[in-house]
Amino acid sequence: MYSFLIRRIAFVIIALLGATAVVFSLSRMAGDPVLLYAKPSGYGSEDYLDNLRKKLGTDRPLVVQYFRWVGQLIQGDLGRTLLAERPVIDVIQEKIWNTFQLAFAGWFFATILGVPLGVLSAVKRGTFWDYIGRSIALFGQALPAFWVGVMLVLVFAVYWQIFPAAFKGEGFSIKHFVLPTITIGWGAAAGYLRITRSAMLEVLDSEFVKLARAKGVGSSGVIWKHAFKNALIPPLTLSALLLAGLMNGAVVAEVVFAWPGLGRVALVEAVNNNDFPLLTGAVFIFTIIYLIMNFVADVLYAWADPRIRYS
Amino acid sequence: MLNIASRGKALVIFAAAVAVAVALACGSDPQIVEVERVVTQEVIKEVPVEKVVTQEVIKEVPRDVVVEKEVIKTVEVEKPVEVIKEVIKTVEVEKPVTITETVTLIVTPTPVVMAAPGAINAPQPSGDAGVINIAIADVAPGVGLGSTQLTDAMHYWGVGEVTMKFVSPGVVAPMLATAWELKINDAGKPYGATLTVRDDVIFHGEGLGDRSNNGGSWGPMSAKDVAFTINDGNNAVNNASIHWQAGDFAAMFGSNEAVAMDDSTVDLTFNVDAMGEPLYDPRWSANLMNDAAQAFSVQSLNRFETVGKQEMQDTNFIGTGPLQIVEWIQDDRATLEAVPYTHWNANPKVDRIVFREVGEQNTQVALMETGEIDAAPIELKNLPRMLDGGFQTADNGLAGLASVVFSGNLWETNHVVSNEPLDTAAVYMRDLPWIGDPSPDNRGDKNKDLTDLEEARLVRNALARAIDRDLINTALLNGLGFPNYLNQFSSTNPNWQDKWNYPYDPAESERLLDEAGWTKNSNGNRFDIPLYAPNPGGYQEIADAVAGFWEEIGVSTAVQKYAYSVYRPTIVARSTTLPWVTGCDDGKSTWPWEWPKSQDHTSLTRGGFGCGLEIKEVADTWIAVAGETDIEKQMQMNNDLAQYLFDQAVSFGIVGVPAPITYNPNKIASWPMDPALFSTWNNPEDIVPAGR
């Protein structure tokens, strides 16, 4: 158990260093960040640029800059954004809860839609319900989330005026969650559906399920108690990673629905402005979330399948 | 964790045991009997489900019939105004059920009666009439000092204020400054200026904080605040400044600090050149210190000294405008409200304005259609449908001049002022058809009878004549823009001369390319050219269209769209050879004809942003026009410059793109805007709500 935890934690640290180092390097490969802020100043501005470099710390070698950033990170300081010179941690705190709410809603929607439909599709294999399920899986994975979002706005906000077209609403407004949740959860539900269906089909054909039927176990008992629990491992693994993935992937819904989340700020604005402190800070946070969810997935996996041991 | 697994095992064993027990209890041969029972039960269960579906379909039909009847009745009345009145009365009853029915009545018949097919109708407003919601593409940072990247747009938002106001070319009106006077040296050249500032201006309080004392004001504005703001932004005085106009301040004032002589007088001294001569820019009062342009918003020195730099940098901007900040969340929303005291100029007619960041154009249109937003910068391609539906537009006359700029043509060898040699090697490492090497002995890449400069000039002229600007205007801008031919001169200006129009003439383009030596190969291709379209940016579709036209004359064009943050460093470093679609700095239709033009085409901007062009003729003209006080002479010099730039085709125009604000007239009665030189919208404080 302990060795498992130590190995996982070591992996987390290595992955964190790797991810941030890559983003840190890529942001510099786009050019000297100082040149983004060099105004039409006329001659004699090299001193000005040098001062800017000193102020931003970009006058040092890249490796030094990176480890300096890591040193600050250990002290809980993610630096300041280039654009507004605000503490990065403040910007992240301001936005990340909105992103998490949306990602969780999308994950919940995907789970309650995708998993039961996957089971239904497998149990009713070759029937009308199977075709419905497979169609949802096909369209869910084929339709871009951006297009789905725009269509949902057009139909449900503009034509039928059932839901608002955008924004998060004041406080906790469920009606503002509906369309963005479907937008990001639709594709995820399709993934769930496919993986659950294939796992269920495999299990339903297995000997122990036939045995259960032969022993006279009721249909629902066979499906949910015997088959589903054994088919649960792939969707369970997907589930944890999906939540982390939706944290990153919510950016599409955030753009379409003007959702004030971190993705729009960190992955759109920061990239456009090459705001490397914000970009690196946000990637650091996203990486931590992903690694935590990955860890949770490992644990759930072991819980669901007793054959798996931490050793 | 092991316990959980063990428990799972135990559960399985328990379940198995129960199953065995049940099986034993059911007799010796239970299998056939139980399977038959299961099948029978499933069939019976499926029947009622089918019945329920049938019932739902039947219920929907009469609802549709009811809606159709209501529509027909409304059309027969043919009094849409009366229908609107009925809606208002219904809302006052405050019965949610009634409101829902009423909405169906309004929305359904209106497009049939009032508007053309596809029209987007202006909805009836909801919410407080004094609160206006506006969608914009970006809510920039609203915090900080001017020197720490505070958005330069605070005066466009009605929160900040500047010293002068632009009325028309050559006419500048007082704003925070009531009077100003140039200081003239013995040689008759202006070397500075004195400003007299108002004494009845006060700073805002801390948003929703203490309002007991004029909104918790930071006190009256004085000359010290104006001088502090200028010095804070000027990177030649405050070398930590990254103010949006940090370089402009430095170019205009150099290291000369603005000085407050007393509470109402500010003394300014202009920059000097290497010879000690004053560098006078005639635009000083109409540009850098003007409400219409990229300027500064006056900040409180008192606040700076009281709370300190860090606090001022981390909290909302405190200005003097008629609107003050209630809440400002970068990349989300900015909530502004009318100041609670009598403003020196005029108090807003609205109570509150909420700017919401909506980056996606389709969402902006949808929000306008549903009434969640009252105004937005709707793109021209969507505008006719909205105008058909009753929406209206407001604008300040500014159109962006989308142009093709052939960066990498660095023809100056020495800096125009310091005479220092300029490093231009990076752009001449490869022979490119659109870039001319000014070295005197450098012959053309293909036609050795021509100089490289002349060969490249022919190529650029060919590319300029291959574009059907009218078609782009019609197809992409719904005919609401205008063809344009030079980056820094608008074809809508009264001084424009038709001889500077590039005709759409593909045959002539092909002839010019042949003459330049860039003949077609066996694949019909002459050469490959990249074309960069910045992201974010509004000209990407125009770049696609240009590429299509160039393909037709055998120039294979690859449009590149990526973050501007990647491209900009190459512009500043003068290392790029990528042509790009941009307006640069001077691509604004409202810029006066007599202004010095295209500083961004010269070495004057070295070390900072430029268009990637350095042309001695342009630099010389800029300096000559800047030093001239006779407007007629300025205009004549700029006419010559226009002719030169037309011949060189180094930054030719494509179309002028107006950027009006579209608003719902049911919520906003009018939005008068002042003339503008940079921002496509301003004066939100002058919005007049409908019904007030």
pLDDT band at B621 (very low <50, low <70, confident <90, very high): very high
* pLDDT reading at B209 higher than 80: no
Cα(A184)–Cα(A244) distance, integer angstroms = 13
- pLDDT score, position A172: 84
Residues of A with Cβ-Cβ distance to B607 under 8 angstroms:
38, 41-46, 48-49
Q: Does residue A292 share a domain with residue A145?
A: yes
- pLDDT score, position A309: 63
Please state, for a pLDDT cut of 90, what percent of chain B lies above it: 56
- pLDDT score, position B219: 86
Which A residues in the span 212-251 are in contact with B, Cβ-Cβ below 8 Å? 212-219, 225
Name the residue facing A303 among B1, B372, B599 (closest C-beta).
B1
Q: Does residue A34 share a domain with residue A153?
A: no
- Structure tokens of B450? 């021509």
* pLDDT mean over B112-120: 54
> When comparing pLDDT for B653 and A42, which is higher?
B653
Task: Give pairs for A277-280: CB < 8 Å, separation 24+.
Answer: A277/A78, A277/A79, A277/A80, A277/A81, A277/A82, A277/A88, A278/A81, A278/A82, A278/A83, A278/A88, A278/A91, A279/A23, A279/A27, A280/A20, A280/A23, A280/A24, A280/A27, A280/A69, A280/A78
- pLDDT score, position A310: 56
* pLDDT reading at B59 higher than 60: no
Residues of A with Cβ-Cβ distance to B569 under 8 angstroms:
30-33, 35-36
> When comparing pLDDT for B671 and B105, which is higher?
B671
- pLDDT score, position B150: 62
pLDDT band at B90 (very low <50, low <70, confident <90, very high): very low
Which B residues in the span 536-555 are in contact with A, Cβ-Cβ below 8 Å? 536
Show which of A38, A63, A88 is a domain's final residue. A88
* pLDDT reading at B146 higher than 50: yes
Name the residue facing A216 among B8, B30, B140 (closest C-beta).
B30
* pLDDT mean over B52-71: 38
* pLDDT reading at A220 higher than 80: yes
User: CB distance A264–B250 less than 8 Å?
Assistant: no
* pLDDT reading at B132 higher than 90: yes
Domain boundaries defined on chain B:
22-114, 124-137+322-395+659-689, 400-658
Residue A195 falls within a domain, yes or no? yes
Q: Whose structure tokens read 């593409």?
A: B137
Which A residues in the span 191-210 are in contact with B, Cβ-Cβ below 8 Å? none
User: CB distance B332–A43 less than 8 Å?
Assistant: no
- pLDDT score, position B46: 41
* pLDDT mean over B645-663: 97
Cα(B571)–Cα(B527) distance, integer angstroms = 24
ipTM score of complex:
0.86
* pLDDT reading at B446 higher than 60: yes
State whether residue B401 sits within 8 Å of chain A by CB.
no
Is A223:A158 a contact under the CB 8 Å cutoff?
A: no
Cα(A287)–Cα(B245) distance, integer angstroms = 37
- Considering its fold, how many domains does chain A have in total? 2
Q: What is the pLDDT of residues B353-406, one digit of tens each?
A: 999 999 899 999 999 999 999 999 999 989 999 999 999 999 999 999 999 999
Angle at A104 between CA A102 and CA A110, to 5 degrees: 105
Average pLDDT, chain B: 82
Contacts of B678 (CB under 8 A, 6+ apart): B292, B293, B294, B398, B588
Average pLDDT, chain A: 86
CATH number at residue A236: 1.10.3720.10
Residues of B with Cβ-Cβ distance to A150 under 8 angstroms:
360, 362-363
Lowest mean pLDDT among B519-528, B559-568, B637-646: B559-568
Show which of A88, A114, A142 is a domain's final residue. A88
User: CB distance A271–B245 less than 8 Å?
Assistant: no
Identify the top-confidence range among A26-35, B51-60, B269-278, B518-527: B518-527
Is B167:B397 a contact under the CB 8 Å cutoff?
A: no
Q: Whose structure tokens read 């100043």?
A: A41
Name the residue facing A40 among B366, B535, B605 (closest C-beta).
B605
Q: Does residue A262 share a domain with residue A197?
A: yes
- Structure tokens of B155? 């005066």
pLDDT band at A296 (very low <50, low <70, confident <90, very high): confident
pLDDT band at B148 (very low <50, low <70, confident <90, very high): confident
**DSSP-assigned states of every residue in B53-88:** HHHHHHHHHHHHHHHHHHHHHHHHH--HHHHHHHHH
Provide the β-strand partners of residue B164: B174, B290
Q: Does residue A109 share a domain with residue A64?
A: no
| Closest chain B residue to A222, measured at CA | B19
- pLDDT score, position A37: 67
Name the residue facing A84 among B143, B420, B610 (closest C-beta).
B143
The pTM score is 0.80
* pLDDT reading at A221 higher than 70: yes
Cβ-Cβ pairs closer than 8 A, A with B, add up to 214
Lowest mean pLDDT among A175-189, B235-249, B333-347, B508-522: B235-249
Q: Tell me whether the omega of the peptide bond preceding residue B278 falls within 30 degrees of 0, making it cis.
A: no
Lowest mean pLDDT among A27-31, A179-183, A191-195, A290-294: A27-31
pLDDT band at B57 (very low <50, low <70, confident <90, very high): very low
Q: What is the pLDDT of residues A150-165, one digit of tens each?
A: 999 999 999 999 999 9
Q: What is the pLDDT of residues B383-395, one digit of tens each?
A: 999 999 999 999 9
- pLDDT score, position A13: 84
- pLDDT score, position A5: 74
Burial B642-674 (b: 16+ CB within 10 A, else e): beebbebbbbbbbbbbbbbbbbbebbbeebebb
- pLDDT score, position A232: 86
User: Residue A134 sits in which domain range?
Assistant: 95-304
Amino acid identity, residue A264?
A: R
Length of chain A: 311
Residue B538: how many CA atoms within 13 Å on its side-chain side? 23
* pLDDT mean over A269-273: 80
Q: From the CA of A183, how many Å to the nearest CA of chain B?
A: 14
State whether residue A307 sits within 8 Å of chain B by CB.
no
- pLDDT score, position B206: 62
Residue A165 falls within a domain, yes or no? yes
Lowest mean pLDDT among A301-310, B473-482, B615-624, B666-675: A301-310
Of B342, B378, B347, B350, the residue nearest B362 (C-alpha): B378
* pLDDT reading at B537 higher than 80: no
Please state, for a pLDDT cut of 70, what percent of chain B lies above it: 81
Q: B400-658 maps to which CATH number?
A: 3.10.105.10
* pLDDT mean over A111-137: 92
Name the residue facing B372 among A1, A165, A265 (closest C-beta).
A165
* pLDDT reading at B60 higher than 50: no
Amino acid identity, residue A126?
A: G
Of A277, A268, A278, A269, the residue nearest A66 (C-alpha): A277
- pLDDT score, position B213: 44
Eight-state DSSP code of residue B501:
P
State whether residue B599 sits within 8 Å of chain A by CB.
yes
Which B residues in the span 342-371 are in contact with A, Cβ-Cβ below 8 Å? 356-360, 362-363, 366-367, 369-370
Provide the β-strand partners of residue B668: B689
* pLDDT mean over A123-128: 92
* pLDDT reading at B193 higher than 80: yes
* pLDDT reading at B291 higher than 60: yes
Is residue B174 exposed (0-12), middle (13-18) or buried (19+ Cβ within 10 Å)? middle
* pLDDT reading at B28 higher than 80: no
Q: Does residue A142 share a domain with residue A208?
A: yes
* pLDDT mean over B289-315: 89
* pLDDT reading at B21 higher than 70: no
Is B685:B321 a contact under the CB 8 Å cutoff?
A: yes
Burial B469-506 (b: 16+ CB within 10 A, else e): beebbeebbbebbbbbbbbbbbbbeeebeeebbbebeb
* pLDDT reading at B227 higher than 70: yes
Show which of A70, A88, A106 is a domain's final residue. A88
Is B407:B577 a contact under the CB 8 Å cutoff?
A: yes
User: CB distance A40–B564 less than 8 Å?
Assistant: no
Eight-state DSSP code of residue A131:
H
* pLDDT reading at B598 higher than 50: yes
Name the residue facing A41 among B141, B235, B565 (closest C-beta).
B235
- pLDDT score, position B266: 98
Q: Does residue A201 share a domain with residue A180?
A: yes
Cα(A225)–Cα(A211) distance, integer angstroms = 13
Q: B124-137+322-395+659-689 maps to which CATH number?
A: 3.40.190.10
* pLDDT mean over B507-529: 96
State whether residue A264 sits within 8 Å of chain B by CB.
yes
Is A35:A48 a contact under the CB 8 Å cutoff?
A: no
Angle at B406 between CA B403 and CA B407, to 5 degrees: 115
User: First and final CA of chain B: distance in angstroms?
Assistant: 68
- pLDDT score, position B152: 66
> When comparing pLDDT for B552 and A61, which is higher?
B552
Helices (H) and strands (E) in chain B, counts: 17, 21
pLDDT band at A276 (very low <50, low <70, confident <90, very high): confident
Eight-state DSSP code of residue B519:
-
Q: Does residue A145 share a domain with residue A25?
A: no
* pLDDT reading at B88 higher than 80: no
* pLDDT reading at A303 higher than 80: no
Is residue A176 exposed (0-12), middle (13-18) or buried (19+ Cβ within 10 Å)? buried
Q: Does residue A102 share a domain with residue A52?
A: no
- pLDDT score, position B157: 93
Residue A311 falls within a domain, yes or no? no
- pLDDT score, position B143: 75
